């Protein structure tokens, strides 16, 4: 029916409009509408109006505004509930995938590691019996290196599928960040990439696992170095507000495609030919264990920004909700 279609069209437009505004802006608009409705109510306007026809129009307008405000509040509530449901469904699906991956990872690691260990021992034995000047000795070294790469890949897969529980302590995020940046800076320097740092005095203390957060930042920085063109720049910054701590890594270069902003955290997804697609997936799993959030977005002045937001005191439900 045309009337029903118009109502649905109005609802869809309102939902799209509401998504573009913050909760504070929406509340202000609702308050203004409600105030306008009160202004034209019988107690304020009607006593000043003597014309009967005009009074009827005011009554009609008052009823229309009441319906509009009520509909706006209802649509806003429905929209927010739908967003919460979608977010919950996404989190449940992700948790199920992690559980399945964990079971499969344990089986794969066991079935692959055992024969790999046997192969490595045998290769070592043959290599040790080979004369130092034998050209085949170099081939054995290559085989051993490749075995170590396979085992490292299995370990990374296990780290993603079954990240350990955080060992919580009061840490200084700035100290963790500076330590990781110091590790990555030489690799970045080989391509002329500069790494700058900016920290506020309010970044600590943070209740978290220092080793795991260091791994998160290391994976993010290595990814940023690979995405930054030669001679580019990477900016690392951290700040705290409203019981949340946020770490931001921005690299120069081409901005990330918005379609990839979520996909880069999926396991085994990589835009690099030699990438395993596990680095950022591991980072995401660790951040989730810390009740935090990690996301990517195009930089305001180009490039790509990866942001990590964590509750300053792990277990603080209010802070955890604020991060989402």
Which long-range contacts (C-beta less than 8 Å, at least 24 apart) are formed by 35-38?
36/65, 37/62, 37/65, 37/66, 37/69
User: Among 47-61, 240-254, 261-275, 276-290, which stretch is predicted with the lowest mean pLDDT?
Assistant: 47-61
Structure tokens at 229: 């063109």
Q: What is the structure's pLDDT at 24?
A: 54
Which two tokens mark 163?
């990240």
Range in 158-167, 199-208, 220-229, 230-239 with the lowest mean pLDDT = 158-167
Calpha distance 61→34 (Å, rounded): 13
Distance, CA of 136 to CA of 134 (rounded, Å)? 5
Confidence of residue 278 (pLDDT cuts 50, 70, 90): confident
Query: Do 193 and 231 meet the contact criterion of CB atoms below 8 Å apart?
Result: yes
| Cα–Cα nearest to 297, from 308, 305, 289 | 305
Q: What is the pLDDT, as a whole number, of residue 100?
A: 64
Q: Give the 3-state secondary structure of residue 248.
A: strand
- In the chain, where are the structural domains located? 1-162, 169-322
Q: How many helices (H) and strands (E) in the chain?
A: 8, 7
How much is the pTM? 0.55
Q: How many CB atoms lie within 10 A of CB 183?
A: 13
pLDDT given at position 279: 79
- Residue 249's pLDDT band, with cuts at 50, 70 and 90, is very high
Average pLDDT, rounded, for the chain? 76
Percent of the chain scoring above 90 in pLDDT: 17
- Please determine, for residue 324, whether its predicted confidence score (pLDDT) is greater than 90: no
Query: Is 186:222 a contact under the CB 8 Å cutoff?
Result: no
Nearest 5°: the CA angle 286, 289, 291 is 115
- Give residue 321's pLDDT band: very low, low, confident or very high (50, 70, 90): very low
Contact 171, 204 (CB under 8 A): yes
**Three-class DSSP category at 229:** coil
CATH entry, 169-322, from 2.40.110.10, 3.10.20.30, 3.10.580.10, 3.30.565.10: 3.30.565.10
Phi and psi angles of residue 285, each rounded to the nearest 5 degrees, phi first: -65, -40
> What is the full DSSP assignment across 266-290?
STT--SSTT--S-HHHHHHHHHHHT
Locate 184 and state its tokens. Answer: 């990555």
Residue range 82-138, pLDDT digits in tens: 777 777 666 666 666 666 666 666 666 666 777 777 888 888 888 888 888 888 888
Residue 184 backbone dihedrals phi, psi, to 5 degrees:
-85, -25
The pLDDT value given to residue 76: 64
- Reported as a single tens digit per residue, the pLDDT across 150-175 is 777 777 666 655 667 888 888 888 89
Average pLDDT over residues 11-21: 62
CA distance 77 to 83: 10
How far is it, in rounded angstroms, from Cα 298 to Cα 37?
42
d(CA 102, CA 12): 40
* pLDDT of 188 above 60: yes
């Amino acid at each position: 029916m045309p009337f029903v279609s118009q109502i649905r069209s109005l609802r869809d437009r309102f939902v799209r409009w509401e998504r573009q505004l913050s909760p504070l802006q929406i509340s202000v608009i609702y308050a203004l509408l409600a105030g306008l409705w009160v202004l034209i109510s019988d107690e304020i306007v009607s006593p000043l109006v003597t014309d009967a026809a005009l009074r009827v129009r005011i009554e009609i307008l008052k009823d229309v505004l009441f319906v509009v405000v009520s509909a706006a509040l209802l649509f806003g509530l429905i929209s927010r509930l739908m967003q919460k449901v979608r977010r919950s469904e996404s989190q449940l699906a992700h948790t199920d995938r992690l559980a399945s991956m964990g079971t499969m990872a344990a089986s794969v690691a066991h079935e692959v590691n055992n024969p790999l260990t046997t192969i490595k021992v045998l290769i070592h034995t043959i290599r040790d019996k080979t004369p130092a000047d034998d050209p085949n000795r170099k081939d054995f070294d290559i085989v051993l290196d490749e075995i170590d790469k396979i085992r490292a890949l299995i370990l990374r897969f296990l780290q993603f599928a079954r990240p350990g529980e955080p060992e919580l302590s009061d840490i200084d995020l700035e100290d963790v960040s500076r330590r990781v940046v110091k590790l990555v800076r030489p690799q970045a320097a080989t391509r002329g990439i500069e790494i700058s740092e900016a920290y506020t005095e309010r970044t600590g203390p943070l209740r978290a696992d220092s080793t795991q957060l260091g791994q998160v930042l290391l994976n993010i920085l290595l990814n940023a170095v690979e995405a930054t063109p030669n001679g580019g720049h990477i900016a690392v910054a951290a700040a705290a507000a409203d019981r949340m701590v946020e770490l931001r890594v921005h690299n120069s270069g081409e901005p990330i495609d918005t379609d990839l902003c979520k996909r880069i955290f999926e396991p085994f997804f990589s835009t690099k030919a030699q990438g395993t697609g596990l680095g950022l997936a591991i980072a995401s799993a660790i951040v989730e264990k810390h009740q935090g959030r990690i996301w990517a977005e195009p930089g305001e002045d180009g490039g790509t920004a990866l942001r990590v937001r964590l509750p300053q005191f792990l277990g603080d439900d209010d802070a955890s909700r604020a991060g989402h």
